[in-house]
Amino acid sequence: MEALAHQIIAGIATGGIYASLALALVMIYQATHHVNFAQGEMATLSTFIALSFIQAGMPYWVAFFATIAVSFLIGVAVERLLMRPVQNAPVLTHVGVFIGLLLIIGNLTGWVFGYTTKMFPTPFESDQPLFGGLVSAHQLGSTAVTLAVLLLVYLFFRHTKLGLAMRAAAYNPRSARLVGIRVGWMLALGWGLAAAIGAVAGMMIAPVVFLDPTMMLGILLYAFAGALLGGIDNPMGAVLGGFAVGVLENLAGAYVVGTELKLTVALIIIIGVLVIRPSGLFGRVVLSRV
């Protein structure tokens, strides 16, 4: 029984990691109706930038916000320079560009910062192990940060004009343009915000899994699964989905099929859910008129 409780707690802690990146995926989806496969690599790059700031002597929180600002600019630049030229190309071409971006950023990060595993500091230090050593103060703190980001995202999209304009630009660019929204800049802004949220996710994840250029490779898949399980258009659903994936995966590994197949089984369960509810657990069903 105790082992079961431990598996669940450990699953929730890992799920927090997925949830934070899933939130970035949902964010960019809301703003652009794309899922960016390079999101994980962009977040890793941001985290390395944060590490450089900290090593240069900046206090943690200064580096934290400086990194968010830099990442925002990188996101905007990527949209302007790389996505703009192919905006009228078929959707699959966009996916091709994402893959190119993934290759460039992933390899560039390794080339510039090296491949050695590095420690990344946490602002939430505590000497006292919590929950039998399964959860660190950092994991509690980072979950709080994820929830805070979620709240901000919610308020931004629901209660600000800009948020509404961004949703409109993503949902129906043509009509949005007619009512005077600058659709191009809305997309760039969406990329910037997604990159900023990704940076937060990276800085929260790195102290747990340790920092190296391939840190996000596995996490992205889980985050993607979490986001889809919850519903790709629902930030709250994505966060819950992330936690669910973490717990599900641990239970499958410990009690169902053994660790060798735990990823496979977790994915099969998720796909099963999706077949029954094709828009995710909390997603809206989109009906379109013909």
Partner 1 sequence: MSASKGIPASAPMVRAPAQRSIAGWQRAAIVLLGAAAALAPIWVLDSFPLFQLTMAIIYAVAVLGLNIVTGYSGQISLGHGAFFAVGAYATAILMAHFDWSFWATLPVAALVCAAIGFCIGFPALRLHGLYLALTTFALAVAVPQLLKHRALEGWTGGVQGLFLLKPDPPSWLPLSPDRWMYVVVLVIAALMYLLAWNLIRSRIGRALMATRDHPTAAEAMGMDIASLKTRAFAVSATITGVAGSLSAVAVEYVAPDSFTFFVSITLFVGMVAGGIASILGSLFGGLFVVFVPNIAEAISRSAPGVIYGVILILFLFVMPDGFAGLLRRLWARAFGPRG
Partner 2 sequence: MTTTTRRTLLAGATIGAAGLAMPNIAPAQETPGVTANEIRIGSTNALSGPASSYSVISRCLEAMFQRLNEQGGVGGRRIRFIVYDDGYQPPRTLEQTRRLVEQDRVAFLFNQLGTPTNSAIHRYVNQRRIPHLFLATGADKWANPKEYPWTIGWQPSYRVEAQIYAKYILEQKPDARIALLYQNDDFGKDYLHGVQDVLGQRFSSMVRTATNEVTDPTIDSQIVQLQATGADVLICGVVPRFAAQAIRRVFDMGWRPMFFMTNVSISVGAVMQPAGPERGVGLITSDYRKDQSDPAWADDPGMNEWREFMRRYLPDADLTDNNYTYAYGVGTTMIHVLRQCGNDFSRQNVMRQATSIAPMDIPVLLPGIKVQSQPDNYNVIRQMQLQRWDGRSWVRFGNVIEGANV
Q: Does 24 bind partner 2 (CB under 8 A)?
A: no
Restricted to residues 150-189, the positions that interact with partner 2 (CB under 8 A) are: none
Q: Which of the residues 183 through 212 are near partner 1 (CB under 8 A)?
A: none
Report CA-CA distances (Å) from 100 to 76, 126, 156, 193, 220: 17, 41, 31, 21, 16
> In the numeric block, which tokens belong to residue 196?
């900023």
Site track 103-122 with partner 1 (rule: CB under 8 A), x = hit: xxxxxx--x-----------
Can you tell me the distance from the alpha carbon of 191 to that of 78, in angstroms, rounded to the nearest whole number? Answer: 8
Q: How far is the CB of 271 from partner 1 (least distance, A)?
A: 5
Q: Which two tokens stand for residue 263?
A: 């990823």
Q: Does 136 bind partner 2 (CB under 8 A)?
A: yes
228 vs 254, which CB is nearer to partner 2?
Answer: 254
Q: Residue 7 interacts with partner 2 (CB under 8 A)?
A: yes
| Under rule CB under 8 A, residue 270 binds partner 1 | yes
| CA–CA distances in Å: residue 60 to residues 48, 92, 186, 212 | 13, 40, 31, 19
- Per-residue contact track with partner 1, 124 to 163, x per CB under 8 A? ----------------------------------------
Q: 3-state DSSP: the chain helix, strand, coil percent, rounded to 5?
A: 75, 0, 20
Is residue 6 part of the contact set for partner 2 (CB under 8 A)?
A: yes
Per-residue x/- marks for partner 1, 33-72, CB under 8 A? xxx-------------------------------------
d(CA 168, CA 183): 9
**Partner from partner 2, partner 1, none binding residue 127, C-beta < 5-8 Å depending on class:** none
Identity of residue 143: T
Distances (CA, A) of 76 to 32, 37, 111, 206: 12, 16, 23, 24
Task: Dig out the tokens for 38 from the structure.
Answer: 């390079």
Q: 144 CB contacts (<8 Å, ≥6 apart)?
A: none
Binding to partner 2 (CB under 8 A) within 194-233 occurs at: 205, 208-210, 212-215, 217-219, 221-222
Residue 17 interacts with which of partner 1, partner 2, none, CB < 5 to 8 Å by class: partner 2
How many Cα neighbours within 13 Å face the side chain of 268? 8
What radius of gyration, in Å, describes the C-alpha atoms of the chain? 19
The answer to whether 39 and 75 have CB atoms below 8 angstroms apart is no
- Among 22, 24, 34, 25, smallest CA distance to 83 is for 34
67 in the Ramachandran plot: left (φ > 0), alpha (ψ -120 to 50) or beta? alpha
Which position among 18, 29, 72, 191 is part of the footprint of partner 1 (CB under 8 A)? 29
Give the interface with partner 1 as residue ranges (CB under 8 A). Answer: 29, 33-35, 82, 85-86, 88-97, 99-108, 111, 221, 224-225, 228, 232-233, 260-261, 263-264, 267-268, 270-271, 274-275, 278-280, 286, 288, 290
Give the interface with partner 2 as residue ranges (CB under 8 A). Answer: 2-3, 6-7, 10-11, 13-14, 17-18, 103, 107, 110, 114-119, 129, 132-134, 136, 205, 208-210, 212-215, 217-219, 221-222, 249-250, 253-254, 258-260, 262-263
